[in-house]
Amino acid sequence: MENKQTPLGYISFSVFAWIVGLLIFFPIFWMVLTSFKSELEAVSIPPSFISFDWTLENYAEVQERSNYFKFAMNSVILAVGSTLVGLVFAVTCAWAMAFNPTKRTKNALLWMLSTKMMPPVGVLVPIYLLFRDWGLLDTRFGLIMVLFLMNLPIMVWMLYTYFKEIPTDILEAARMDGATLPKEIIFVLLPMAVPGIASTMLLNVILAWNEAFWTLNLTTSDAAPLTAFIASYSSPEGLFWAKLSAASTLAVAPILVIGWFSQKQLVRGLTFGAVK
Amino acid sequence: MKRVMGAALGALLAGGIAHANAETKLTIATVNNGDMIRMQKLTGDFTAKNPDISLEWVTLEENTLRQRVTTDIATKGGQYDVMTIGTYEVPIWAEKGWLAPLDGLGADYDVDDIMPAIRSAVSKDDALYAAPFYGESSMMMYRTDLFEKAGIKIDGRLTWDQTLEIAQKLHDPDNGVYGICLRGKAGWGENMALITTMGNAYGARWFDEEWKPTFDGPEWKTALDMYTNILGNYGPPGATSNGFNENLSLFNSGKCGMWIDATVAASFVTNPKDSKVADKVGFTESPCAVTCNGANWLWAWNLGIPMGSQKVEAAQKFIAWATSKEYLELVASKEGWANVPPGTRMSLYKNPEYTSAAPFAAKTLAAIESADPVNSTLKPKPYIGVQFAAIPEFQGIGTIVGQQFSAALAGQSSVAEALSAAQSSTDRTMRKAGYY
């Protein structure tokens, strides 16, 4: 069907899209702006927009008080580690469900998703006790396991949706040519599902990066990621907004950069199959 | 691809398991406030005196810290060697046997110098279970210039009725000044801290001698009527969102005629770097009503050691250092007397250098000395605590009641409805918990 969009329609749509985009981006912009203000400026009413004394003292204070790179490295290890481990399980699981479904596949998928509906605090004490007994408290390995299990249902669901779009005939042809199951998955299925896998990985990295319940409750210092770094700058008594904004800016910067450069892949993957 | 993935996974897992293990590394959980951050910066003094002990700081926001250390101590997780805990937790945890008694602080620690009210709040059977790092009560901060302009003079301790009259006179929202700023944000440590002191002043108490809630009595009705009237009519708009920090920024930007909150705020509002009204602030006691008993709260952040810690000796050495008189002198020598952690040691308030550097010192001392966690109500009560009841159920109860009172302030329910809801929800919880 030919797209008959009028210039007026195009302009209105663009303006609307820009407004939505700016609205979504505004909190991040405000956070970055606040990080360059003094504590008094940060809470002043009415707030100053650009005309204030720009300062880097909050960043200096954050650098002096915390070892940013240790927290950032932990975040990278947890996000990437949980994603890679999750991928191994999710690809095989989604393959089985997409290409060899049984009458209970749909129920199994829904059941997996239902585990996400339970508030994490409901299992805090049992998980904490297991971690204590297995010596996993404040270890990156333990957190990778928890984050991977937490995001596994979403990974399986996403990959299942992508795999369903791939014609079964191609896999059958590979089998006819003598491909074993691992070869069929690694050399035939995965290359065709790259956009879907990439967006699943990216989404999982973002979810693991932002996860703040388990990462705060199961770590103290050695495995603490950037969520713990941010949490250390919030205070119930005293002015802290500017320093907290500086810490938050530093914490989201890496993921913002990755998201910016991979946005095409991310959008392509997330809308994969949605328009068919 | 297979090999790369395998290698990456192996490296990640190995990296995850690898875990530094210092012999006498003390992990200290603490809140993020100026005094604690200052202590972190000064730990070089401690490690120089104790080269065999290293310190690892875990700084968290208050609510996160509370949840984190409670989980750890209740499950004997052993993640922390020293914990920063409030006066609410100390008696409960000491009773449960979760805290190690502090019996090795050293001969020169001078435990008798600790303020009696604070000391009793962190002791059980005369044994110290946590050492106070800083203490606070509540008091009124007011704008001397606005008082002068309105011809108001404070003569003796104010009552809530007088405070209401003053708020009416000062309230000038057209010029950006609100009569009074008070906590409105729901929470046991937020609005309920203030409202409980108001209730105490009006002769109310949380529980009677049989642990039954008393929100159906006339005292609470009068107190809550006053709270919703004074803050609803002469406070800033959107007061239900205001906690300590929001009111601090309002006061510092010159928008509050009066503010009743923690004594620790005094150093913030008089600091010209943070406050536009630094040279126009006066201090006086929290208002009374039918009694002054419990009209101002008592709180302290304390350092305690979880029972079962393998590093009790090193942890006691650290606590003795951080809560000693020498530490106060160390802070004074590096950052000035105005920045020493207040409210724990009597000797600090006898020090002329401190009292001249901190003009609010006398009022802070008077407020802390007058707050008695055991006798804080007009009628007898079965619990310890001025602005809270030191029982495990209180956090939940206090937060629910706080939400109901916040709804009354917002006009979503009447005072009578809020009190009735508070009575029934508290009664239900106390019954379930087996108090009666």
Contacts A132 to B, Cβ<8 Å: 75-78
List alpha helices for B51-203, DSSP H: 62-74, 89-96, 116-121, 144-149, 160-170, 191-201
- B67-70 own/partner pairs: CB under 8 Å, 24+ apart: B67/A217, B68/A216, B68/A217, B68/B29, B69/B29
| Number of Cβ within a 10 Å radius of residue B177 | 16
Over the stretch B28-40, which tens digit does the pLDDT of each residue have?
999 887 788 889 8
Determine whether the interchain pair A237/B245 forms a contact, defined as Cβ–Cβ distance below 8 Å: yes
Distances B289 to A75, B126, B130 between C-alpha atoms, Å? 54, 33, 33
Q: Report if residue A51 sits inside a domain.
A: no
Q: Which residue type occupies A35?
A: S
pTM beyond cutoff 0.90: no
Determine whether the interchain pair B27/A221 forms a contact, defined as Cβ–Cβ distance below 8 Å: yes
Greater confidence, B22 or B209? Answer: B209
Greater confidence, B12 or A250? Answer: A250
Sorted by sequence, the CB contacts under 8 Å of residue B299 that are 6+ apart come out as B86, B87, B135, B136, B137, B193, B262, B387
Q: Report if residue A258 sits inside a domain.
A: no
The band of B9, judged by pLDDT with boundaries at 50, 70 and 90, is: very low
pLDDT, residue B303, reads 96
Tell me the nearest-neighbour CA distance from A40 into chain B, angstroms: 5
Residue A272 pLDDT greater than 70, yes or no: no
Cβ contacts below 8 Å, chain A against chain B, sum to 135
Determine whether the interchain pair B59/A232 forms a contact, defined as Cβ–Cβ distance below 8 Å: yes
Contacts B13 to A, Cβ<8 Å: 81, 141, 144
Q: Which of A169-173, B53-57, B156-160, B255-259 has the lowest mean pLDDT?
A: A169-173
Task: Look over chain B and give the mean of its residue pLDDT values, rounded to a whole number.
Answer: 90
Asked if B22-136+299-357 and B138-297+383-432 have one fold, the answer is yes
Beta-bridge partner residues of B345: B114
- Encoded tokens for B296: 């101002």
Q: Is there a contact between A166 and A189 (Cβ–Cβ < 8 Å)? A: yes
H or E element in which residue A6 lies: none
pLDDT, residue A237, reads 67
Distance in angstroms (rounded) separating the CA atoms of residues A40 and A45? 10
Over the stretch B331-367, which tens digit does the pLDDT of each residue have?
999 988 888 999 999 999 999 999 998 888 999 999 9
- Encoded tokens for B242: 């205001």
Contacts A231 to B, Cβ<8 Å: 60-61, 64
Average pLDDT on B214-220 reads: 96
Average pLDDT on A81-101 reads: 92
Identify which of B17, B58, B189 has the shortest CB distance to residue A139. B17
Q: Report if residue A225 sits inside a domain.
A: yes
Q: Which CATH class is domain B138-297+383-432?
A: alpha beta
Tell me the nearest-neighbour CA distance from B319 into chain A, angstroms: 20
Task: Look over chain A and give the mean of its residue pLDDT values, rounded to a whole number.
Answer: 87
Determine whether the interchain pair B262/A237 forms a contact, defined as Cβ–Cβ distance below 8 Å: yes
* Phi, psi at B134, each rounded to 5°: -150, 150
CATH number of the CATH domain containing A121? 1.10.3720.10
Which letter, b or e, does each residue of B369-390 get, where b requires 16 or more Cβ atoms within 10 Å of its Cβ? Answer: bbbbbeebbbeebebbbbbbbb
Q: Which of A24-33, A128-137, B58-67, B71-80 has the lowest mean pLDDT?
A: B58-67
The band of B63, judged by pLDDT with boundaries at 50, 70 and 90, is: confident
Average pLDDT on B193-199 reads: 97
Contacts B245 to A, Cβ<8 Å: 43, 235-240
Over the stretch A185-217, which tens digit does the pLDDT of each residue have?
888 888 888 888 888 898 899 899 999 999 999
Interface test with A, best of B9, B12, B25 (most A CBs within 10 A): B12
Over the stretch B129-152, which tens digit does the pLDDT of each residue have?
999 999 999 999 999 999 999 999
> Domain range holding A189?
66-232
The band of B195, judged by pLDDT with boundaries at 50, 70 and 90, is: very high
Over the stretch B105-135, which tens digit does the pLDDT of each residue have?
988 899 999 999 899 889 988 899 999 999 9
Average pLDDT on A91-102 reads: 89
The band of A3, judged by pLDDT with boundaries at 50, 70 and 90, is: low
For A190, the closest chain B residue by CA position comes to B1
Residue B164 pLDDT greater than 90, yes or no: yes
| Number of Cβ within a 10 Å radius of residue A165 | 13
Distance in angstroms (rounded) separating the CA atoms of residues B217 and B228? 17
pLDDT, residue B260, reads 97
Residue B414 in 3-state DSSP?
A: coil
Q: Nearest 10 degrees: CA dihedral of B303, B306, B310, B313?
A: 30
Residue B4 pLDDT greater than 50, yes or no: no
The band of A250, judged by pLDDT with boundaries at 50, 70 and 90, is: very high
Report the residue count for chain B. Answer: 436
Q: Which CATH superfamily is domain B22-136+299-357 in?
A: Periplasmic binding protein-like II (3.40.190.10)
pLDDT, residue B13, reads 44
Identify which of A44, A80, A128 has the shortest CB distance to residue B77. A128
Contacts A129 to B, Cβ<8 Å: 75
Taken in order A102, A104, A109, A112, is the CA torsion positive or negative? Answer: negative
Q: Report if residue A83 sits inside a domain.
A: yes
Distance in angstroms (rounded) separating the CA atoms of residues A145 and A159? 20
Determine whether the interchain pair B71/A81 forms a contact, defined as Cβ–Cβ distance below 8 Å: no
* Phi, psi at B300, each rounded to 5°: -145, 145
Average pLDDT on B393-398 reads: 91
Q: Is there a contact between B304 and B90 (Cβ–Cβ < 8 Å)? A: yes
Choose among B289, B264, B252, B235: nearest CA to B406: B235
The band of A270, judged by pLDDT with boundaries at 50, 70 and 90, is: low
The band of B1, judged by pLDDT with boundaries at 50, 70 and 90, is: very low
Contacts A141 to B, Cβ<8 Å: 13, 16-17
Sorted by sequence, the CB contacts under 8 Å of residue A275 that are 6+ apart come out as none
Contacts A222 to B, Cβ<8 Å: 19-20
Which letter, b or e, does each residue of B79-105 get, where b requires 16 or more Cβ atoms within 10 Å of its Cβ? Answer: bbbbbbbbbbbbbbbbeeebbbbbeeb
Counted domains in chain A: 1
Chain A residues contacting B via beta carbons under 8 Å: 39-40, 43-45, 65, 77, 80-81, 84-85, 88, 124-125, 128-129, 131-132, 137-144, 186, 216-217, 220-224, 228, 231-240
pLDDT, residue B387, reads 95
Distances A267 to A159, A189, A271, B136 between C-alpha atoms, Å? 15, 21, 6, 53
Greater confidence, A240 or A146? Answer: A146
Q: Which residue type occupies B277?
A: V
Distance in angstroms (rounded) separating the CA atoms of residues B234 and B268? 24
Tell me the nearest-neighbour CA distance from A141 into chain B, angstroms: 4
Q: Report if residue A194 sits inside a domain.
A: yes
For B34, the closest chain A residue by CA position comes to A238
Query: Half-sphere exposure of B362 toward its Cβ, with a 13 Å CA cutoff?
Result: 7
Interface test with B, best of A85, A214, A215, A220 (most B CBs within 10 A): A220
pLDDT, residue B28, reads 94
The band of A126, judged by pLDDT with boundaries at 50, 70 and 90, is: very high
Sorted by sequence, the CB contacts under 8 Å of residue B190 that are 6+ apart come out as B183, B243, B244, B402
Distance in angstroms (rounded) separating the CA atoms of residues A25 and A189? 37
Interface test with A, best of B56, B58, B267 (most A CBs within 10 A): B58
Taken in order A79, A81, A82, A84, is the CA torsion positive or negative? Answer: positive
User: Could you give the ipTM of this predicted complex?
Assistant: 0.77
Identify which of A125, A228, A238 has the shortest CB distance to residue B268. A238
Residue B273 in 3-state DSSP?
A: coil
Indicate the domain borders of chain B.
Answer: 22-136+299-357, 138-297+383-432
Q: Report if residue A91 sits inside a domain.
A: yes
Give one word for B211, left, alpha or beta, with left for phi > 0 and alpha for psi -120 to 50: left
| Number of Cβ within a 10 Å radius of residue B25 | 15
Interface test with A, best of B25, B61, B275 (most A CBs within 10 A): B61
Identify which of A43, A88, A236 has the shortest CB distance to residue B243. A236
Q: Report if residue A207 sits inside a domain.
A: yes
Q: Which residue type occupies A34?
A: T
Q: Report if residue A17 sits inside a domain.
A: no
Interface test with A, best of B3, B55, B249 (most A CBs within 10 A): B249
Specify the DSSP class assigned to residue B159. Answer: B
pLDDT, residue B249, reads 86
Residue A276 pLDDT greater than 70, yes or no: no
pLDDT, residue A273, reads 53
